Amino acid sequence: MNDLRALLHRPFAARMLIAALIGRLPEAMTSLALILVARDAGGSYATAGALVAGFAVGAAVGGPVLGRTIDRAGQPRVLLAAAVGRALVLVAIAAVAGTSLAVAGVLAVAGGALTPPLEPALRALWPDLAGGDAHALAAAYELDAGAQELIFVLGPVLVAVTVAVASPAVALHVTWAIGLAGTAAFALAPPARDWRAGAHAHAGWTAVLRAPEVGLLLIVVVLAGATTGVVNVTATAFAERALGDRGLAGWLLAAWATGALIGGLAAAARRWTLPPETRLTRLLIAFGLALVPALLARSGLAMAGALMLAGAALAPTLACVFVLTGARALPGAITETFAWLTSSFLVGSAAGSALAGPLAGDGSTAAVAGFALAAAFVLGAGALWHGRPARVTRAAH
């Protein structure tokens, strides 16, 4: 708890975290807003899904490009340019969706590619915000990993409220306005203005993967992302088929997000003694085992409790990956490396969602195959990572 308290009292630490969370709210708003805009324009769910998929593909591809640019040009200009560009794209989508969903789909890809990389940008700042203290840095990553779940709780609610009082098009406008405000608050703050990536010791897009064990960490993150994708689809199938109400899926996923928030805060409040290499193996195993109760749940309340338990293991696991990645990233490539992590998670989530659909069973067994697959993904990640030797962890600058 002392490390977490000390971190939050560090200059700008809380401000940068809050600004990043506000700036990232569109990540949890855009998909739902695009679906509702497409349906409001008379498009099918397949068309709506294509818009969302296009946005996700754009984000996965654009993230590393923008991260690499930040490492060379600094944070403010790149973040603000991306936020303004995304705002213009979302305005255009709202304007053209009623006449051409095909054009809206092309714009969605561009909008995704212009998603400001606030997540990797914040993680590049944490070593400085933590004052070079390794324990405070670990607490920062754990707080970061848990707090981001607030985005996925609040984002869909903001869209739903806006649609209820206005329209899906207005929801898109609210989305870009929130994102632009949060990004500006982050990018114009002194830590973002003063940050420098350091000397560029690499060239080429594959150089990031040649950093020690970063490639393996990306595989671990793909598998963790696949787990979340499976959970999203399987929880929805369980709500519809076992509980008879698809709308209850939101509550189940909120329980998952709440568990991740609690897990992140609890992890940030303690001081770890195990080296992060060993800790990651144990956290991945614990994450896989924490999904087992979801296999057995048959009621909505039991499933919510099971998902909250499993979610509590997610944030500490991701935070440990962040610690290891920051310690291994090449000089001058910290933002790009963290952006690759984000893209890997998105790719894994998309793959997990695609694989989970056919596995969703009927009635009370809807959760069994899906959650078994989710557990297999993270346990497999633990097996891949197991046995990695501990290294001296350095702060990334």
Domain boundaries, the chain: 1-133+150-196, 202-397
Residue 366: its pLDDT value, please? 59
Residue 293: its pLDDT value, please? 96
Least confident range from 25-39, 173-187, 289-303: namely 25-39
Q: Inform me whether the pLDDT recorded for 275 exceeds 70.
A: yes
C-alpha closest to that of 222 among 112, 340, 68, 122: 340
The chain-wide mean pLDDT, for the chain, equals: 87
Residue 393: its pLDDT value, please? 47
Mean pLDDT of 106-134: 92
Q: Distance of alpha carbon 86 from its chain centroid, rounded?
A: 18
CATH superfamily of domain region 1-133+150-196: MFS general substrate transporter like domains (1.20.1250.20)
The structural architecture, per CATH, of the domain 202-397 is Up-down Bundle (1.20)
Residue 227: its pLDDT value, please? 94
Mean pLDDT of 54-75: 92
Task: Please state, in angstroms and as integers, the Cα–Cα distance from residue 153 to each residue in 14, 72, 86, 172, 391, following that order.
Answer: 20, 34, 22, 18, 36
Q: Inform me whether the pLDDT recorded for 10 exceeds 50.
A: yes
Cα(119)–Cα(111) distance, rounded to whole angstroms? Answer: 17
Kindly state the percentage of the chain with pLDDT values over 90. Answer: 47
Residue 87: its pLDDT value, please? 97
Which range, 120-129, 195-204, 263-272, has the best average confidence (pLDDT)?
120-129
395 band by pLDDT with thresholds 50, 70 and 90: very low
Tens of pLDDT, residue by residue over 308-367, are 999 999 999 999 999 899 888 888 888 989 999 999 998 898 888 878 877 765 545 657
Residue 244: its pLDDT value, please? 82
Tell me if domain 1-133+150-196 and domain 202-397 are identical in fold: yes
Q: DSSP code of 166?
A: S
Residue 57: both structure tokens together: 């593909």
Cα(358)–Cα(370) distance, rounded to whole angstroms? Answer: 9
Quickly list DSSP for 302-349. HHHHHHHHHHHHHHHHHHHHHHHHHHHSPTT-HHHHHHHHHHHHHHHH
Backbone angles phi, psi at 274, to 5 degrees: -70, 145
Q: Which residue has the higher pLDDT, 126 or 134?
A: 126
Residue 396: its pLDDT value, please? 42
Residue 78 and residue 88 in contact, taking contact as beta carbons nearer than 8 Å: no
Sorted by sequence, the CB contacts under 8 Å of residue 391 that are 6+ apart come out as 212, 277, 327, 328
Task: Please state, in angstroms and as integers, the Cα–Cα distance from residue 343 to each residue in 95, 117, 221, 231, 287, following that order.
Answer: 29, 10, 9, 19, 21
